[in-house]
Amino acid sequence: MIYKYVFGQPIETQAVVMEVPKSEHELSVMKVEVQEDAIRLSCQMGDEDVVFGLGEQVRGMNKRGFSYISNATDDPRHTENKHSLYGAHNFLILNRAEKTKDESGNRTFGIFVDDPGTVIFDVGETRMEDLVITAGADCVIYVIEGESLKDIVKQFRKLIGRSYIAPKWAFGYQQSRWSYMTEDEVREVVDGHRKNGIPLDAVYLDIDYMERYKDFTVNQETFPNFKEFTSEMKEQSIHLVPIIDAGVKIEEGYPVYEEGIRENYFCKDEDGEDFVAAVWPGKVHFPDVLNSKARAWFGEKYRFLMEQGIDGFWNDMNEPAIFYSEKNLKKVLEELEGMKGKNLDLNAFFHMTDLVAKLSNNPLDYQSFYHDMDGVRIRHDRVHNLYGFNMTRAASEAFDQIEPEKRTLLFSRSSYIGMHRYGGIWTGDNNAWWGQLLLSIQQMPALNMCGILYTGSDIGGFGSDTTEDLLMRWLEFAMFTPLMRNHAAMGTRHQEVYQFEHMDVFRNLIRMRYGLLPYIYSEYMKAVLNDEMYFRPLAFDYPEDEQAYRVEDQLLVGESIMIAPVYTQNAKGRYVYLPEDMLMVRMKSLEERVCEVVERGHYYMDMALDEVVIFVRKNYMLPLAVLDEDVRSTSDVNEDQLEWIGYTEDVAEYVLYNDDGTSRKYTPESEWEKIRLTKEEFDF
């Protein structure tokens, strides 16, 4: 059951697609205080209550013990003290333990705060037992009650609409770096994979493919024959995926800039002038993607690249990130000038370093420009979290015109609930830290709750140097994420897998992904079409099992399997909790598998650096594609030749979804393939 509460005069965010009447009763699951500038919601949490959700944030699956602030921020250090990352995903579920329910009649509920400005979720940071949500005075709040965690999520997902569907090739392995600078460098990357028998479906073009970081341009010196190059790559089954940034360079003669100026499509400052911020190219204007005309105009620009054969994009810097604003930089440089010749003690010196550090993503800058929301002038900070959403929506709505039949790959860095209908996200500029691998594991189900299904983290870590073992362990997890992309920053160690010594291990790992493709794709599509979660914490499937609520480092992936990735360096194994009897499938490669039934319970299990262990649930099945030795890409995977792994004492069943992977015609449920195997038909 969904209850809708409206406070003040909310801005229409388009997060929700379903008509819900206003609730006739007062909001009861939390105490509501309407303050002058804010709505404050609060309730007490019992000892055993667990909070799930909030999407892209730091810390564990259980969000208790910290404050999370929805305020899309370009911050490349995802340490535990960060309150905001790139997205704003204002949905959580407070799961009441039996004990709490009994004591006070409190109920389990989900809550979605539809407010595109800053929202604070203090989940027991200030007081361990208090959940306090502070939203703006104008917002819509949805409270969702249901039979189970899964049911609440499903209702929420129906409310916010069906998730984006990526083309099947985007479920292959993808390689990125900031940046492959030339056509030849891209060719080298492709060859590095091809000649070593490592499947690969896509190579990414980071900011340097552009001419002076101008959106919708291609550097003619380094990519002189882009259209030909794109088709050369396609012949090798490689999709090129260029980046698009939010800021449009200010440069006379650059058509995108000139059109934007002419048509008044850029965000304005206090004085009605086009707002000047600086990002990669230096000074830019931000297209006002909250304005429907500007959005249509900006989306249409993607055509330039699509006409050259591009069928995938990643939208970046769309929090929007600001290196500095013209005005603030001027002020800071003037203040710094006054420091010359002075004795700077700690206060003066920290003030100085702060001035410079706070040039970027400065709240004052976000308060100093405006949108024209189809006639209504709105200061940016009030709708800050909608920017990335609407940049991505711009692209998606244009694709509906440009390529109405075909799926186009699209994902974004910044997002707000609702954007999941238009594209996926990647989890931004993480680091080559073991802790970030764990974070990625923990973020996945929280993102899925919000409908963000096409997602994954930068494998190996974006910032700082990766190590060979970290890359292996990361791949062992990421082979299950829909977006499986290796990406690294300028200046870091090269981390294409062929750069390392144990190529055989990497080849085996990436081939496993291609073997898993029929399952991953089937489960992804079913999750989309049924409004379900592809990744789930154990508690979602084993709600009666108290231990399941404690497990922070295992996931259910689709309906059939559980994974327990290794995420600590030098580990040769890890502890695993089995909430029921399962079939342990230990793989050194797709073909080299050892299966064993393991009973419910706690175990320490060996997991060597080159091993992947999958747990198949009783009476469920895992299809694996039989791969040719020379499989190069998703298109080489023969989906008709499947092996079935499973364990049952009776009958196991599986519903296999498949389709052509490129058109927008999805297989109707009536045509989904139902497989049913008896105990005797399995090796296990």
> For residues 103-142, which are near its own copies according to CB under 8 A?
124-125, 127-128
Of 255-263, 371-379, 546-554, 639-647, the segment contacting its own copies by CB under 8 A is 546-554
550 near its own copies, judged by CB under 8 A: yes
Question: Residues 41, 149, 165, 279: which binds its own copies (CB under 8 A)?
Answer: 279
CB contact set of 102 (below 8 Å; sequence gap of 6+): none
Strand order in the sheet with 324-325: 248-249, 282-285, 277-279, 324-325
Q: Scanning the structure block, which residue is given the tokens 């089954």?
A: 237
Question: Residues 32, 137, 261, 329: which binds its own copies (CB under 8 A)?
Answer: 329
Using CB under 8 A as the binding rule, the residues of this chain from 617 to 656 that contact its own copies are none
Outline where DSSP puts E strands in 345-491.
369-373, 376-379, 409-412, 415-416, 424-426, 455-456, 458-459, 484-486
Using CB under 8 A as the binding rule, the residues of this chain from 143 to 172 that contact its own copies are none
CB of residue 595 to its own copies, shortest distance in Å: 22
CB of residue 349 to its own copies, shortest distance in Å: 5
Of 157 and 574, CB closest to its own copies: 574
Using CB under 8 A as the binding rule, the residues of this chain from 375 to 434 that contact its own copies are 431-434
Q: Scanning the structure block, which residue is given the tokens 């001027």?
A: 330
Question: Residues 26, 235, 345, 599: which binds its own copies (CB under 8 A)?
Answer: 345
464 near its own copies, judged by CB under 8 A: yes
Alpha helices in 612-667 (DSSP H): none
Closest to 320 (Cα-Cα) out of 442, 229, 416: 416
Using CB under 8 A as the binding rule, the residues of this chain from 60 to 79 that contact its own copies are 60, 62, 64-66, 77, 79
281 near its own copies, judged by CB under 8 A: yes
Question: Residues 41, 246, 289, 359: which binds its own copies (CB under 8 A)?
Answer: 359
For residues 74 and 91, the answer to whether their CB atoms sit within 8 Å is: no
Question: Residues 323, 369, 534, 615: which binds its own copies (CB under 8 A)?
Answer: 323
Question: Residues 104, 231, 569, 641: which binds its own copies (CB under 8 A)?
Answer: 569
Closest to 426 (Cα-Cα) out of 190, 188, 556, 243: 243
49 near its own copies, judged by CB under 8 A: no
Of 6 and 336, CB closest to its own copies: 336
521 near its own copies, judged by CB under 8 A: no
- Rounded-to-10 torsion of CA 391, 396, 397, 403: 140
Of 193-201, 260-268, 353-361, 391-399, the segment contacting its own copies by CB under 8 A is 353-361
Question: Residues 21, 570, 668, 680: which binds its own copies (CB under 8 A)?
Answer: 570
Q: Scanning the structure block, which residue is given the tokens 């429907």?
A: 292
The most distant pair of C-alpha atoms in the chain lies apart, rounded to whole Å, by 86
| CB neighbours of residue 404 within 10 Å | 8
CB of residue 274 to its own copies, shortest distance in Å: 15
Question: Residues 138, 185, 269, 469: which binds its own copies (CB under 8 A)?
Answer: 469
Strand order in the sheet with 202-205: 455-456, 424-426, 409-412, 312-316, 239-245, 202-205, 173-175, 484-486, 458-459
Question: Residues 86, 121, 280, 416: which binds its own copies (CB under 8 A)?
Answer: 280
Question: Residues 1, 34, 344, 364: which binds its own copies (CB under 8 A)?
Answer: 344
Of 12-20, 91-99, 343-351, 675-683, the segment contacting its own copies by CB under 8 A is 343-351
CA distance 364 to 381: 9
Question: Residues 43, 246, 256, 470: which binds its own copies (CB under 8 A)?
Answer: 470
214 near its own copies, judged by CB under 8 A: no
362 near its own copies, judged by CB under 8 A: no
CB of residue 433 to its own copies, shortest distance in Å: 4
What phi and psi values does residue 337 have, to the nearest 5 degrees? Answer: -60, -40
Q: How far apart are the first and last CA of the chain?
A: 42
For residues 466 and 434, the answer to whether their CB atoms sit within 8 Å is: no
Of 13 and 442, CB closest to its own copies: 442
Integer CA distances (angstroms), 84 to 81, 89, 118, 414, 501, in order: 9, 11, 10, 11, 38
99 near its own copies, judged by CB under 8 A: no
Residue type, 548: A
For residues 86 and 462, the answer to whether their CB atoms sit within 8 Å is: no
Of 166-174, 335-343, 417-425, 650-658, the segment contacting its own copies by CB under 8 A is 335-343
- Interface with its own copies (CB under 8 A), residue total 74
Indicate the length of the chain as a whole number.
Answer: 684
Question: Residues 604, 640, 650, 674: which binds its own copies (CB under 8 A)?
Answer: 604
Provide the mask over 488-517, with x wherever binding to its own copies is found by CB under 8 A and - wherever it is not: -------------xx---------------
Of 85-93, 344-352, 615-623, 630-638, the segment contacting its own copies by CB under 8 A is 344-352
Q: Which helix (H) or strand (E) holds 547?
A: none
DSSP state of 323: S
Evaluate the CA torsion angle 468, 485, 195, 566 in order and state its sign: positive
What phi and psi values does residue 387 have, to the nearest 5 degrees? Answer: -65, -55
396 three-state secondary structure: helix
28 near its own copies, judged by CB under 8 A: no
Question: Residues 18, 20, 34, 357: which binds its own copies (CB under 8 A)?
Answer: 357
324 near its own copies, judged by CB under 8 A: yes
CB of residue 280 to its own copies, shortest distance in Å: 5
| CB neighbours of residue 292 within 10 Å | 15
Record the tokens describing residue 274, joined without a space. Answer: 């086009």
